Amino acid sequence: MPKSVHITARRPTFEEMEKSLHISKARKRALQNILDELKTKLSTRVEANLSPVEPETRRKRASAA
């Protein structure tokens, strides 16, 4: 058996993944509060990770103006 493969199948949509896992709408609704909290945390971390120079750039632009 190979140690790795390259998957060429189309990526499932998130709805298709949820359907495949039998995740109900009721479950999603019940998890909404937890999810909102995680999304807030994720947004903060993503901004920090993907745009590390942005605050500096903003500061320079502000001082140039």
Partner 1 sequence: MPPLPDPNAVFLNIPYDEEFSRLYVAYIVGLTQLSLVPHLTTEIPGGDRRLSKIFKLIQSCRYSIHDLSRVEVGAAPTDVPRFNMPLELGMAVTWQSLHPGRHTWFVWESEPYRLQRSASDLNGTDVNIHHGTPEGVLAELRNALGRDHPPSVPQMQTVYDLVNSALNSIFLRNGTSNLYDRSVFLDLCSLSVSLGAFFPASKLAV
Alpha carbon of 50 to those of 13, 53, 63: distances in Å? 24, 9, 23
Whole-number Å distance between alpha carbons of 12 and 23: 15
Looking at the Cβ atoms of 54 and 60, the one nearer to partner 1 is: 54
Q: How far is the CB of 63 from partner 1 (least distance, A)?
A: 29
| CA dist., res. 48 & res. 43, Å (int) | 9
Q: How many residues bind partner 1 (CB under 8 A)?
A: 34
Residues 3-62 that bind partner 1 (CB under 8 A): 3-12, 14, 17-18, 20-23, 27-28, 30-31, 34-35, 37-39, 41-42, 45-46, 49-50
